[in-house]
Amino acid sequence: MLAGGVGGARFVRGVREEVRRRWPDGGGRSEASFRRAQDSAVTVVVNTGDDLWLAGVRLMPDFDSLLYSLAGVNDAERGWGRAGETERVAAELREWGVGWPWFTLGDLDLGTHLARTSWLREGLTPSQVGERLQRRWPLGVRLIPATDSEVDTHVLVADPDAPGGRRELHFQEWWTRHRATLPALAFEQRNIDDACPAPGVVEAIATADLVLFAPSNPVVSIGTILSIPGIRDALAETRAPVVGVSPIIAGKVVRGMADACLPVIGVETSAEAVGRHYGARASGGLLDGWLVDETDAPAVASLEGAGLVARSVPLWMRDLETSAALAGAAIDLGAALRPAGS
């Protein structure tokens, strides 16, 4: 699965649940080998475009959103960070003028960042660090950062006061401080052309039975993963069906601000336009199947005209049940797309 943070976490929880329900006995394996099999039955390739250095530590927001959410230690009400979080260190950092005053790092969350940074300092790669972080909680899925290279997303905005009339800021500043309200001219993934997929990413895509695109931000989550050299080729070559889930329902983002990103790359905010943007594998695109919401059912016929096998199903993930049902629909579509005998 390719995934970003919030939409990604909801969907991954649904997939984990649905996979457990459909294959409950793990094919008669022993408990230990079953747990290992389950841990690796679902591999999530996680967006790293939001990552950044701040206050001396490395943050990987989408990875941590997935980690906390799958471990059940996330703050479900607020929608990000750890449950039971406190902010004593953040108050001190503010007094020292370190970090960004509008970007609060919770105390428990800082523990994660300190652990990660100390392991990076010891020479571990981000994907090795990710593996260590997952040892603490049995997630039931395997998370891999899409790349070990730092490809932090920057946003080019118009600024009449800046030299040349434009300036660049880190994605997190644009997203969190400005709530994506500064009109963006372009997104830039720094050094992405020199990046390569983290170990295990291409292998996971190549050997998968099914590849899923979570309903994550098509530009700054899925788009970043796709722009890492090697990932598009792996998707083009895999024998597995590739099925995507629309993050757009009835012309609106469900949660978040993806509608501030799509126009920047010239894509309309609609389930149909995003499906066409990913494109059909049969004609050089990325997907075989595309799930749109029931309210977008009228788009199905024209999506099929574009070479995609589209289905309309309920796309709102309100709780574990609705997330699992959506995962089930994606798995079913994948099964229907699998060539006979494979």
Task: Write out the residues near ligand GDP by the rule CB under 6 A.
Answer: 3-8, 10, 62, 215-217, 221, 245-247, 249, 253-256, 258, 315-317
SS3 168: strand
Amino acid at 152: D
Does residue 293 belong to the site contacting Ca ion (CB under 5 A)? Answer: no
Structure tokens at 337: 């797309």
Nearer to Ca ion, 62 or 296 (CB): 62
315/253 Cα distance (integer angstroms): 11
For residue 46, list its beta bridge partners. 3, 145
The window from 5-13, 19-27, 191-199, 277-285 that contacts Ca ion (CB under 5 A) reads: 5-13
Report, in Å, the least distance between residue 149 CB and Ca ion: 17
Nearer to ligand GDP, 47 or 89 (CB): 47
128/99 Cα distance (integer angstroms): 26
* Residue 215 binds: one of Ca ion, ligand GDP, none (C-beta under 5 to 8 A by kind): ligand GDP
Q: Could you identify the residue written with the tokens 């929880």?
A: 13
Is beta strand 211-213 parallel, antiparallel or unpaired with respect to 242-245?
parallel
Query: CB nearest ligand GDP: which residue?
Result: 7
Q: 22-51: which residues touch Ca ion (CB under 5 A)?
A: 50
* Residue 59 binds: one of Ca ion, ligand GDP, none (C-beta under 5 to 8 A by kind): none
Does residue 288 belong to the site contacting Ca ion (CB under 5 A)? Answer: no
Report, in Å, the least distance between residue 196 CB and ligand GDP: 22
Distances (CA, A) of 192 to 48, 148, 149, 233, 331: 11, 11, 8, 15, 31
* Residue 258 binds: one of Ca ion, ligand GDP, none (C-beta under 5 to 8 A by kind): ligand GDP
Nearer to ligand GDP, 115 or 257 (CB): 257
Does residue 218 belong to the site contacting Ca ion (CB under 5 A)? Answer: no
User: Which of residues 17, 18, 51, 62 is near Ca ion by CB under 5 A?
Assistant: 62
CB 147 within 8 A of CB 65: no
Does residue 289 belong to the site contacting Ca ion (CB under 5 A)? Answer: no
* Residue 14 binds: one of ligand GDP, Ca ion, none (C-beta under 5 to 8 A by kind): none
Report, in Å, the least distance between residue 29 CB and ligand GDP: 31
The window from 11-19, 20-28, 60-68, 156-164 that contacts Ca ion (CB under 5 A) reads: 60-68
Nearer to ligand GDP, 100 or 316 (CB): 316
* Residues near 32 by beta carbon (within 8 Å), at least 6 away in sequence: none
Nearer to ligand GDP, 119 or 244 (CB): 244
Report, in Å, the least distance between residue 134 CB and ligand GDP: 18
Cite the beta strand spans of the chain per DSSP E.
Answer: 2-3, 43-46, 52-54, 57-59, 142-145, 153-158, 166-170, 184-189, 211-213, 242-245, 248-249, 252-253, 289-292, 309-312
Structure tokens at 93: 């950092």
Is beta strand 289-292 parallel, antiparallel or unpaired with respect to 242-245?
parallel
**Taking each helix axis from N to C terminus, what angle separates 61-71 and 126-135, rounded to the nearest 10 degrees?**
20
338/342 Cα distance (integer angstroms): 7
SS3 133: helix
Report, in Å, the least distance between residue 32 CB and ligand GDP: 32
* Residue 69 binds: one of ligand GDP, Ca ion, none (C-beta under 5 to 8 A by kind): none
Nearer to Ca ion, 221 or 238 (CB): 221
| Interface ranges with Ca ion (CB under 5 A) | 4-5, 50, 62
